[in-house]
Amino acid sequence: MFINPLKRAAAKKRILQLLDSREEGNFKGDVNSIGVIIDDKNLNALEELRTLKKSLGIPDDKFTVVIFSAKRKTGKDFDMLDYCLNDIDLKAGIKKPELEKFAVGGVDLLITFAAESNTPVHLLTAYCHAGFKVGRYRQNIPLYDLVIGTEEPSIFKEELLKYLKRIKRT
């Protein structure tokens, strides 16, 4: 479709604007809320990422998962937010109120576990207010405070927990 390339171009431009206005956080290592943004190609990692909730002692209401798919899927899991290209307007704004609330509400730790070139996911990541943002690819390093370059969810989780312990000690 013709609209999708326009939305992607606007999203890339908006990401750059959001990165320019990004404030450096004063993350102290205390994690009381977690947001996970994942795409449908990496759903196999979701269960491993959910174990972070238990590892860090996060209550269910402070753990939010957003799943991106190219087209809205039916039969979604009700404890997750769904996100698709239709939730982005032509000026790269977030149209869906639940996603806007998630992005503006902020979390202590935001994890993005998605494909390297997933522009809509990177747009939501850039919009989100978070104390500490973690991703997987060096290409997207301006979006994150920490990049853990692995495809394996269990290694990603282990490394993330190590870094969080180091941050908390210092």
What pLDDT does residue 75 have? 47
The domain of 114 spans 3-169
Query: Which is it for the CA torsion 18, 69, 80, 35, positive or negative?
Result: negative
- pLDDT given at position 4: 76
The pLDDT value recorded for residue 3 is: 54
Report pLDDT for 54.
92
* Mean pLDDT split into 10-residue runs, the chain, 170 residues: 71 86 73 93 92 92 92 62 89 91 92 91 92 88 90 94 87
Give dist(CA 37, CA 85) in Å, integer.
14
> For the chain, how many residues are written?
170
- 70: domain CATH number is 3.40.50
Q: What is the pTM of this model?
A: 0.89
| Total domains, the chain | 1
